[in-house]
């Protein structure tokens, strides 16, 4: 999570006691006011609503097959399985640990098992969970469940998702208890978080932008919850207005989800819509014009594999149109740190020995097989985290129907030292016209 830079204040100079005391009182008064302002919504948040309407039928009378099918599609679009299905485990019966700066979170059992799943949930209770971040028993849910995005889901789509989940075979598997640290595991803390950062409700439609853009906004900001990774978050994990897609470090996972605004990161404002569609559909645009080439990796490869490759052409187009319409964000950063000549020399040596066969003598890559590193945004964006991840962990673009056998890259974790990876990192960031800051051994250490 990136934080705004704080400038150290000059605390060393002696000040008159009275001024210090006055400042202290002002600070105390302000904190009290803030606390009061928070307490009311917190108290309101802690009130639990009566249960009866939230208890649903143990078995749904006649599941409407069309509704179920629609729900299955929406569950792909919302990638519910990413957090609610464990690798190799039964579908939607509970997921693996999700690392957060506040501890571990677990997506629970969403199958219709009456004891461990949603077998006793009504459609109202299900809608309230998505819309308000509240469990059937009134408990506030932690926002790793991206209900700050899902609150935009329509009631119709919520009902379809509910019908789909209720149609699954029930799995009697208890959900793993949440593993957030104190105080983040407290209901009062979640109520405070909701009061500060969360407002339930649909997205305001913008008719002037057209139906396709509005559909795209719904998918990107709502169901697709792209902000779950691409937002810049406060230290408490909240997203302020306008920061939903400005890029953020995925704490605990060693990846940076780049800005969807900035053309120097993951912005696609200048891309052909068809290329953005291809990226979301196949995970790669290596056949496109040089400045619109990309392959997805790491967490984004999972998103493409489990979610976006399954979406209809029309929905992908709508998402691409919405992404294209995002502004390009603040001006690019100023000057960058040049690498020491000795580091660049070492980097070139490593590159010739280990990388040149695939990525080419001028970083030109190979058509439709190996990405060019010259002009590659993963290489040149201010954050070096993802390029270092690629070198450390290697990887494949996801295998998709449109690109079933992507070429892969071996991991260099055990082959190269941190100093060698930093050197080759600096070398590819400062060669062939690439202009990005040098990479230090410490940078590599952090990602490792």
Binders of ligand HEC in range 134-193 (CB under 6 A)? 135, 141-142, 144-146, 161, 178
Query: Closest approach of Cβ 238 to ligand HEC, in Å?
Result: 16
Buried b (16+ CB within 10 A) or exposed e, 76-107: bbbbbbbbbbbeeeebbbbbbebbbebbbbbb
Residue closest to 83 by CA, chosen among 197, 206, 175, 217: 175
Q: Which is nearer to ligand HEC, 73 or 106 (CB)?
A: 106
Footprint of ligand HEC on 193-222 (CB under 6 A): 220
Among 93, 326, 355, 438, binds ligand HEC (CB under 6 A): 355
CA angle (313, 314, 315) in 5-degree steps: 95
Query: Closest approach of Cβ 232 to ligand HEC, in Å?
Result: 13
Residue 244 lies near ligand HEC (rule: CB under 6 A)? no
Query: Closest approach of Cβ 376 to ligand HEC, in Å?
Result: 5
106 neighbors 173 (Cβ within 8 angstroms): no
The C-alpha atoms of residue 223 and residue 248 are separated, in whole angstroms, by: 20
Among 357, 362, 413, 417, binds ligand HEC (CB under 6 A): 357
Residue 128 lies near ligand HEC (rule: CB under 6 A)? no
Residue closest to 211 by CA, chosen among 326, 327, 77, 315: 315
Distance of alpha carbon 10 from its chain centroid, rounded? 37
Among 167, 232, 297, 426, binds ligand HEC (CB under 6 A): 297
* Token pair recorded at residue 420: 């060698």
Query: Closest approach of Cβ 336 to ligand HEC, in Å?
Result: 17
Among 428, 436, 438, 447, binds ligand HEC (CB under 6 A): 428
Query: Closest approach of Cβ 378 to ligand HEC, in Å?
Result: 4
Residue closest to 318 by CA, chosen among 242, 218, 244, 225: 218
The C-alpha atoms of residue 320 and residue 177 are separated, in whole angstroms, by: 38
Q: Which is nearer to ligand HEC, 68 or 228 (CB)?
A: 228
291 neighbors 374 (Cβ within 8 angstroms): no
Among 412, 431, 436, 438, binds ligand HEC (CB under 6 A): 412
Among 191, 195, 381, 409, binds ligand HEC (CB under 6 A): 409
Alpha-carbon distances, residue 410 vs 108, 122, 187, 354, 386 (angstroms): 35, 49, 45, 10, 15
Residue 376 lies near ligand HEC (rule: CB under 6 A)? yes
Among 93, 195, 316, 390, binds ligand HEC (CB under 6 A): 390
Number of C-beta neighbours around residue 152 at 10 A: 21
The contacts of residue 324 (CB under 8 Å, 6+ apart) are 268, 269, 271, 273, 276
Question: Site size for ligand HEC, by CB under 6 A?
Answer: 72
Query: Closest approach of Cβ 407 to ligand HEC, in Å?
Result: 4
Interaction pattern, residues 72-91, with ligand HEC; x per rule: CB under 6 A: ---x--xxx-xxx-------
Interaction pattern, residues 260-289, with ligand HEC; x per rule: CB under 6 A: x-----x-x----------x----------
Query: Closest approach of Cβ 95 to ligand HEC, in Å?
Result: 7
Q: Which is nearer to ligand HEC, 336 or 407 (CB)?
A: 407
205 neighbors 126 (Cβ within 8 angstroms): no
Among 294, 381, 423, 444, binds ligand HEC (CB under 6 A): 294
The C-alpha atoms of residue 373 and residue 362 are separated, in whole angstroms, by: 8
Among 160, 303, 316, 444, binds ligand HEC (CB under 6 A): 303
Query: Closest approach of Cβ 322 to ligand HEC, in Å?
Result: 8
The C-alpha atoms of residue 91 and residue 109 are separated, in whole angstroms, by: 9
The C-alpha atoms of residue 385 and residue 374 are separated, in whole angstroms, by: 17
Residue 370 lies near ligand HEC (rule: CB under 6 A)? yes
Footprint of ligand HEC on 25-54 (CB under 6 A): none
Residue 240: φ, ψ to 5°: -85, 160
Residue 317 lies near ligand HEC (rule: CB under 6 A)? no
Query: Closest approach of Cβ 411 to ligand HEC, in Å?
Result: 10
Number of C-beta neighbours around residue 1 at 10 A: 15
């Amino acid at each position: 999570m990136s934080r705004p830079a704080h400038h150290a204040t000059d605390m060393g100079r002696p000040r008159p006691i009275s001024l210090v005391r006055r400042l202290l009182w002002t600070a105390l008064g302000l904190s009290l006011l803030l606390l009061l302002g928070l307490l009311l919504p917190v108290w309101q948040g802690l009130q639990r609503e009566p249960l009866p309407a939230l208890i649903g039928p143990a078995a749904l009378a006649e599941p409407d097959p069309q509704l179920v099918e629609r729900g299955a599609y929406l569950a792909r679009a919302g990638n519910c399985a990413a957090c609610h299905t464990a690798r190799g485990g039964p579908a939607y019966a509970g997921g693996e640990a999700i690392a957060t700066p506040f501890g571990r979170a677990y997506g629970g059992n969403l199958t219709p098992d009456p004891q461990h799943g949603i077998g006793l949930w009504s459609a109202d209770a299900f809608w309230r969970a998505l819309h308000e971040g509240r469990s059937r028993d009134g408990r506030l849910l932690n926002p790793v469940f991206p209900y700050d995005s899902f609150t935009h889901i329509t009631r119709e789509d919520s009902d379809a998702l509910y019908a789909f989940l209720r149609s699954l075979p029930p799995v009697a598997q208890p959900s793993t208890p949440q593993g957030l640290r104190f105080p983040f595991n407290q209901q009062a803390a979640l109520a405070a978080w909701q009061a500060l950062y969360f407002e339930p409700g649909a997205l305001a439609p913008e008719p002037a932008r057209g139906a396709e853009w509005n559909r795209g906004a719904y998918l990107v900001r709502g169901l697709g919850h792209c902000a779950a990774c691409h937002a810049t978050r406060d230290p408490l994990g909240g997203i302020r207005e306008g920061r939903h897609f400005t890029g953020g470090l995925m704490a605990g996972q060693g990846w940076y989800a780049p800005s969807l605004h900035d053309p120097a990161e993951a912005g696609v404002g200048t891309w052909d819509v068809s290329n953005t569609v291809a990226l979301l559909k196949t995970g790669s645009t290596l056949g496109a014009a040089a400045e619109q080439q990309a392959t997805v990796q790491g967490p984004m490869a999972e998103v493409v594999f489990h979610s976006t490759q399954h979406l209809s052409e029309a929905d992908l187009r709508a998402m691409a149109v919405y992404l294209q319409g995002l502004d390009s964000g603040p001006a690019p950063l100023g000057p960058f740190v040049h690498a020491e000549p000795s580091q660049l020399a070492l980097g070139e040596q490593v590159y010739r020995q280990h990388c040149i066969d695939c990525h080419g003598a001028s970083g030109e890559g190979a058509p439709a097989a190996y990405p060019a590193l010259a002009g590659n945004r993963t290489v040149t964006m201010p954050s070096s985290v993802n390029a270092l991840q690629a070198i450390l962990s290697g990887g494949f673009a996801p295998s998709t129907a449109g690109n079933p056998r992507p070429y892969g890259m071996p991991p260099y974790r055990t082959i190269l030292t941190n100093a060698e990876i930093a050197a080759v990192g600096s070398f590819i960031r400062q060669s062939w016209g690439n202009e990005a800051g040098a990479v230090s051994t410490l940078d590599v250490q952090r990602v490792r």
